Amino acid sequence: MTNGNASVNYAVLANTNSQTRTGHIFAAGQTHTVTQNACGFSLDSSGTNAPVNGASLDNFTLTANGTACTWTASVDVPWLITLSPTNGTGTAGISFNVQSNAGVSRTGTVTAAGIAYTISQDGCGFSLSTNATTVVADGLSFTNFFVNAFRHQLHLDSLCE
């Protein structure tokens, strides 16, 4: 037993959980409460627009509030490829490739540590000015509709031709 002042040393292990945790140290009839934050994550951007002809090694940064915080990453569409890394601890740069798009505009998601990073990609395609026409019974009515070809980028090569 020490008379007078004393220093209490303690260590706290890393909290790799998604919830804040609390512990108590009892000394000399008093309670000292220790609260430890949960692992938290953020992205440096919410998403990007990829060019029609694809993108090689696009990336974003996943920031963790602790070096022991674990995470995983995945994609939800087959045209987002070569995701790397797919898991880790702490802060990391996450990269992926976007395949070219000869179809209509599309959207996909990379999810890292439960946070969505959205990739939108313009495409080539067509739209109709109307999807249906009603013609009078005697057939003497003339009508038309338009087929609109669209390209969202001016510097396309033969991808949309």
pLDDT tens per residue, range 94-125: 999 999 998 889 999 999 999 999 999 988 76
Domains held by the chain: number:
1
Q: How many CA atoms, within 13 angstroms, populate the side-chain half-sphere of residue 20?
A: 6
User: Which CATH number covers residue 94?
Assistant: 2.60.40.10
- Is residue 61 predicted with pLDDT exceeding 70? yes
Classify residue 32: in a domain, yes or no: no
Q: What is the pLDDT of residue 157?
A: 46
User: Residue 76 and residue 96: Cα distance in Å, rounded?
Assistant: 13
User: Given its phi and psi angles, is residue 89 left (phi above 0), alpha (psi -120 to 50 degrees) or beta?
Assistant: beta
CB atoms within 10 A of CB 108: 19
> pLDDT category, 37, cuts 50, 70, 90?
confident
Q: What is the pLDDT of residue 55?
A: 83
Which of 60, 118, 63 shows the shortest CA–CA distance to 84? 60
User: Residue 109 and residue 134: Cα distance in Å, rounded?
Assistant: 41
Structure tokens at 144: 């038309």
Percent of the chain exceeding pLDDT 90 equals 49
Classify residue 87: in a domain, yes or no: yes
CA angle 80, 41, 75 (to 5 degrees): 15
User: Residue 125 and residue 150: Cα distance in Å, rounded?
Assistant: 6
Classify residue 160: in a domain, yes or no: no
Domain that holds residue 47: 41-124
Classify residue 9: in a domain, yes or no: no
Classify residue 140: in a domain, yes or no: no
Classify residue 25: in a domain, yes or no: no
User: Residue 34 and residue 48: Cα distance in Å, rounded?
Assistant: 41
Classify residue 107: in a domain, yes or no: yes
